[in-house]
A and B are shown apart, each in its own frame.
Chain A
Amino acid sequence: MNNEKSIIFTDNSKIVIEALTQAGADVFIGYPITPANLLYHYASKRFSVFMAAPDEITTLQWMAGFSAVGKISVTATSFPGFALMIESINMAYMMELPMVIILVQRLGPATGTATTGAQGDLLLLNGMISGGMSVATFNFSDELDCWNISAKAIEFAVKHRTPVVILTSKEEMMTKKSMDINLLPAILKYEREFYNSDENYISYKPEKNLVPAFLPLGNEKHQVRITASTHNMKGIIQNSTVEAMNNSKRLHFKNFRNIEDYTFYELDEVPGANTIIVSYGITSHSAKEAVINLRNDGKKISHLIAKTLLPVPQKYYEILSNYKTIVVAEENLTGQYQQILFGSKPDTNIISITEFGKMISPAAIIKQVSNYV
């Protein structure tokens, strides 16, 4: 970093792709879909291997193939494509194959409006692994996050042998902004470790942090068994044996435990505030602007921007327990993160600000929050 400014005018898609490759991602496989097309476009210029798949199921299967032989694969899609990927994401999850899937949200249901942003897919992510297991899900609040968290997503995926989702949206990936690239810190390529003992390799024997050591399929030294069906540590299909059940449960606890070190958030607190706004992704901009305005009016208000969304970091509850009123702002019909955090019948001190089909404006947040501060 130097003190001089280097201003560029860019969309965040460029920042994300550059960060992912610098962090060590080697392969991008994708199928074009709005509003993920810029990511696809930049990836075609920047990844050492770029492959255009004929559909999103194939995309995920090819990614799993690359991942199984030791590569780090990435894709970007939107809900319609993501929906096709879900079974294969479950496969990669069960096989414990690292990869990053960028989900650029747009307005649903179904094909909805491809060019309108949204934050409508979080509940889907929360329940997409059959069995109720969690998938690490990160999102961005600004350009700097696009840079730092993209790199961290690669690190999390590889270090913990798991698919990771980056949740973002049309507005975040397509709007261009001026920014100083000198503010972006250097990204160190994540140096991956492979199993290197002479002892027989056991594909799913948990090591440090519940993560099994990784060895690529096709290596010259040890047999590798990978499977998506319920299996024992050796990767042999089993019915519900204790060992197999423990293995499946481990997949959840692996993420749940290790997310602590990857809990990214921004907490802007003022002493004496009883009310806190919780925001994530695109709504964080509005919330920030609302907070500035409210404070200018002498209101005491705090703000938590959640960047690690799932599994829900326990730290958030610690923070929120200090507040009487919690306002969760998000761009979907029913308040998805609010439901994940507090259930579908929350206490009366939990306030949900939602919007469907357009961004939540700072004015809308100010109006609601003014009732409590």
Chain B
Amino acid sequence: MFRKFLEEGELPYCKGCGHSLVANNIDLALQKNNYSLLDLIVVTDIGCHGIIDKSFKTHTIHGLHGRSVALASGISAGINNPKKKVIALVGDGGATIGMQHIIDAAHNNFDITVIVHNNMLYGMTGGQPSEFTPYGFKTTTTPEGMKRAGYDICSMATTAGAKFVSRVIGTTDFSDVLAKAFATKGFSLVEVMEICPSYGVKANPGMKLKNIVEEAGLEIKNFVDKESDSYQAEIRTDLKSLFNDYDKIPVKYKSDINSPVNILISGSAGEGVQSAAEIFAKAAVSSGLNVSKKGNYPVTVGVGFSSSDIIISPNEILFTGTKDPDVIIITSKDGLDYSSSTVKSSSNAIIFCDSSLTLPETNAKVIKFDFRNKVPVKNVSLYALLYYLNYSKIFPLDALLENLKSDKLIAKLDLNKLLDFSLN
């Protein structure tokens, strides 16, 4: 046979290995499809089949065990050019460890052809079984024969959404099937059934490949053959800087504070702690202060406590870790549970706390107020911060109101209520 894509001469496999036949059939199939050498990118896996890349005159890339399909997927998505053909070669071992990549590539319909060299065992490492080893098949470490069936990768790839899938027996000319796979737009897979002369034949003397395949119930056929489009990477060109004018905060107000104030607001999820802290922080920025803010909440963000540490300072803020807060605002039971150790240890703080809560013993100054009953609970954090601001005057209340008015929250707020700090 005339070779175009492979170097002349012996291929690097043991005598009689089916992998040579696969390589020659690939060459033939590519010739049938009229590809030129540099249209081809051959991605090889680890395993005996993988040493073929030095024999290809095409572009080649040889990666890790089991990952050739994922690598090929990235190449195909990256090159985004239907003229280029990306072929991933993998063994049954690679398909075992990298099964998810095959399913995923079929699912995403990446424009690649996967050729699974299934000789039902790991040739390179001494003939151990893979997840593809069929029931009863003997390997070096299962001399009694395999106790369970192997994967049917063709059915799996079909279910996952492959556009062309076929299983062939690797003893004849199957270049037409490969040519069909190569010509398919989108994901295609051909599983070639083989037997490894060095280990498979030795462990299963006298067994015929055809019979093994038949007994395993692995059908030799096209599983799917569909017209389709293939995956196209979406390349966006209308991108804008993440910094937009909307984010700029004009400094319109002034603050008289001359040292940093550390504020801890601690409440419940769903009661607006994070959004209120954000508006408060921005208002401090618009008052010419340096500000840092971070949130703490359990991984299930929708329940339990929600708290925020805010530092406002006339100077540069360096350390943003937990220092004893100067101000602790507690609006709910969850918030109290979260902050109670801080409350106990704080002697210089001032604590604003909902009237319904019983604080642990503390030397801090405590101010109780009926936050929860004065406004809907979803606004209680904002209300408590407004209350604190009105009390402390660390920056103008107007700064907060202005930031509030430019926030989408405002539509749902009753400002009169939020600014009513009277006792009843």
- Chain A interface (Cβ within 8 Å of chain B)? 5-10, 14, 17-18, 21, 27, 29, 34, 42, 45-49, 51, 54-55, 57-58, 61-71, 87-88, 91, 95, 114-115, 171, 174-178, 181, 217-229, 235-237, 285-286, 288-289, 358-362
When the two chains form their complex, are residues B321 and A8 in contact, meaning their CB atoms are under 8 A apart?
no
When the two chains form their complex, are residues A217 and B249 in contact, meaning their CB atoms are under 8 A apart?
no
Q: Inside 8 A of A95's CB, which chain B residues have their CB?
A: 61, 63
When the two chains form their complex, are residues A10 and B293 in contact, meaning their CB atoms are under 8 A apart?
no
When the two chains form their complex, are residues A171 and B234 in contact, meaning their CB atoms are under 8 A apart?
no
Distance (whole angstroms) from the CB of B246 to the closest CB of chain A: 10
**Bound complex: CA A63 to CA B71 (Å):** 8
Cβ of B221 within 8 Å of any chain A Cβ, yes or no, is no
- Restricting to B9-43, which residues have a CB under 8 Å from any CB of A? 37-38, 41
When the two chains form their complex, are residues B77 and A34 in contact, meaning their CB atoms are under 8 A apart?
no
Q: A18-B242, A115-B299 are in contact. Are A61 and B63 (CB under 8 A)?
A: yes
When the two chains form their complex, are residues B62 and A48 in contact, meaning their CB atoms are under 8 A apart?
no
**Bound complex: CA A174 to CA B296 (Å):** 11
- B79 is contacted by which of A5, A69, A87, A360 (Cβ under 8 Å)? A69
**Bound complex: CA A21 to CA B322 (Å):** 33
Q: Which residue of chain A has its CB nearest to the CB of B234? A: A49
When the two chains form their complex, are residues A228 and B38 in contact, meaning their CB atoms are under 8 A apart?
no
When the two chains form their complex, are residues B249 and A9 in contact, meaning their CB atoms are under 8 A apart?
yes
Cβ of B82 within 8 Å of any chain A Cβ, yes or no, is no
Q: Which residue of chain B has its CB nearest to the CB of A16? A: B242
Q: Which residue of chain B has its CB nearest to the CB of A87? A: B64
Q: Inside 8 A of B269's CB, which chain A residues have their CB?
A: none
Q: A87-B64, A176-B293, A288-B318 are in contact. Are A65 and B235 (CB under 8 A)?
A: no
Give me 16 A-to-B residue pairs in the complex whose CB atoms sit less than 8 angstroms apart, sorted by A's number: A7-B248, A7-B250, A9-B291, A46-B242, A47-B236, A54-B104, A65-B77, A67-B78, A69-B78, A69-B79, A178-B292, A223-B57, A226-B62, A228-B63, A359-B319, A362-B319
When the two chains form their complex, are residues B53 and A225 in contact, meaning their CB atoms are under 8 A apart?
yes
When the two chains form their complex, are residues B61 and A48 in contact, meaning their CB atoms are under 8 A apart?
no
When the two chains form their complex, are residues B62 and A57 in contact, meaning their CB atoms are under 8 A apart?
no
Q: Inside 8 A of A362's CB, which chain B residues have their CB?
A: 318-319
Q: Inside 8 A of B101's CB, which chain A residues have their CB?
A: 58, 61
Cβ of B359 within 8 Å of any chain A Cβ, yes or no, is no
Q: Which residue of chain A has its CB nearest to the CB of B37? A: A223
When A and B form their complex, which 7 residue pairs have the shortest distance between CB atoms, in order from nearest?
Answer: A65-B74, A359-B321, A61-B70, A62-B74, A66-B78, A65-B75, A227-B62
**Bound complex: CA A36 to CA B382 (Å):** 28
- B243 is contacted by which of A8, A57, A88, A289 (Cβ under 8 Å)? A8
- Restricting to B302-350, which residues have a CB under 8 Å from any CB of A? 317-323
- B67 is contacted by which of A54, A88, A224, A359 (Cβ under 8 Å)? A88
- A65 is contacted by which of B73, B248, B317 (Cβ under 8 Å)? B73
When the two chains form their complex, are residues A218 and B247 in contact, meaning their CB atoms are under 8 A apart?
no
When the two chains form their complex, are residues A225 and B76 in contact, meaning their CB atoms are under 8 A apart?
no
Distance (whole angstroms) from the CB of B161 to the closest CB of chain A: 14
When the two chains form their complex, are residues B299 and A176 in contact, meaning their CB atoms are under 8 A apart?
no
Q: Which residue of chain A has its CB nearest to the CB of B97? A: A57
- A226 is contacted by which of B60, B289, B318, B320 (Cβ under 8 Å)? B60
- Restricting to B91-141, which residues have a CB under 8 Å from any CB of A? 100-101, 104
Distance (whole angstroms) from the CB of A295 to the closest CB of chain B: 14
- Chain B interface (Cβ within 8 Å of chain A)? 37-38, 41, 51, 53-54, 57-64, 67, 70-79, 81, 84, 100-101, 104, 233-237, 239, 241-243, 247-251, 278, 281-282, 285, 289-297, 299, 317-323
Q: Which residue of chain B has its CB nearest to the CB of A286? A: B319
- A61 is contacted by which of B37, B73, B81, B295 (Cβ under 8 Å)? B73
**Bound complex: CA A228 to CA B64 (Å):** 7
Q: Which residue of chain B has its CB nearest to the CB of A224? A: B59
- B38 is contacted by which of A7, A17, A221 (Cβ under 8 Å)? A221
**Bound complex: CA A65 to CA B86 (Å):** 11
Distance (whole angstroms) from the CB of B313 to the closest CB of chain A: 10
Q: Inside 8 A of A68's CB, which chain B residues have their CB?
A: 61, 71, 74-75, 78
Q: Which residue of chain A has its CB nearest to the CB of B51? A: A237
When the two chains form their complex, are residues B78 and A228 in contact, meaning their CB atoms are under 8 A apart?
no
When the two chains form their complex, are residues B236 and A49 in contact, meaning their CB atoms are under 8 A apart?
yes
Distance (whole angstroms) from the CB of A12 to the closest CB of chain B: 11
Distance (whole angstroms) from the CB of B307 to the closest CB of chain A: 12
Q: Inside 8 A of A57's CB, which chain B residues have their CB?
A: 67, 70
Q: Which residue of chain B has its CB nearest to the CB of A284? A: B318
**Bound complex: CA A219 to CA B38 (Å):** 7
**Bound complex: CA A54 to CA B69 (Å):** 13
When the two chains form their complex, are residues B320 and A171 in contact, meaning their CB atoms are under 8 A apart?
yes
When the two chains form their complex, are residues B251 and A227 in contact, meaning their CB atoms are under 8 A apart?
no
Distance (whole angstroms) from the CB of A63 to the closest CB of chain B: 7
When the two chains form their complex, are residues A218 and B67 in contact, meaning their CB atoms are under 8 A apart?
no
**Bound complex: CA A48 to CA B237 (Å):** 6
When the two chains form their complex, are residues A177 and B237 in contact, meaning their CB atoms are under 8 A apart?
no
- A48 is contacted by which of B63, B236, B285 (Cβ under 8 Å)? B236
**Bound complex: CA A229 to CA B65 (Å):** 11
Distance (whole angstroms) from the CB of A289 to the closest CB of chain B: 4
**Bound complex: CA A181 to CA B291 (Å):** 15
Q: Inside 8 A of B243's CB, which chain A residues have their CB?
A: 8, 14, 18, 181
When the two chains form their complex, are residues A61 and B74 in contact, meaning their CB atoms are under 8 A apart?
yes
Q: A18-B242, A218-B81 are in contact. Are A228 and B248 (CB under 8 A)?
A: no
Q: Inside 8 A of B250's CB, which chain A residues have their CB?
A: 7
Q: Inside 8 A of B60's CB, which chain A residues have their CB?
A: 223-227, 235
Instruction: Apart from A45-B242, A88-B64, A361-B319, list 12 A-B contacts with CB within 8 A.
Output: A8-B247, A10-B247, A47-B239, A48-B239, A49-B77, A54-B104, A66-B77, A68-B71, A171-B294, A175-B293, A178-B249, A217-B41
When the two chains form their complex, are residues B242 and A177 in contact, meaning their CB atoms are under 8 A apart?
no
**Bound complex: CA A363 to CA B72 (Å):** 53
Q: Which of A62, A88, A227 has the most CB of B within 10 A?
A: A62
When the two chains form their complex, are residues A361 and B321 in contact, meaning their CB atoms are under 8 A apart?
yes
Distance (whole angstroms) from the CB of A94 to the closest CB of chain B: 9
**Bound complex: CA A7 to CA B248 (Å):** 6
Q: Inside 8 A of A288's CB, which chain B residues have their CB?
A: 318
When the two chains form their complex, are residues A5 and B251 in contact, meaning their CB atoms are under 8 A apart?
yes
When the two chains form their complex, are residues B73 and A359 in contact, meaning their CB atoms are under 8 A apart?
no
**Bound complex: CA A5 to CA B249 (Å):** 10
Q: A6-B248, A218-B79, A219-B38 are in contact. Are A285 and B70 (CB under 8 A)?
A: no
Q: Which of B249, B285, B321 has the most CB of A within 10 A?
A: B321
Q: A9-B285, A61-B74 are in contact. Are A177 and B321 (CB under 8 A)?
A: no
Distance (whole angstroms) from the CB of B236 to the closest CB of chain A: 5
When the two chains form their complex, are residues B285 and A361 in contact, meaning their CB atoms are under 8 A apart?
no
**Bound complex: CA A178 to CA B296 (Å):** 19
**Bound complex: CA A332 to CA B326 (Å):** 28
Q: Which residue of chain A has its CB nearest to the CB of B85? A: A218
Q: Inside 8 A of A63's CB, which chain B residues have their CB?
A: 74
When the two chains form their complex, are residues B74 and A358 in contact, meaning their CB atoms are under 8 A apart?
no
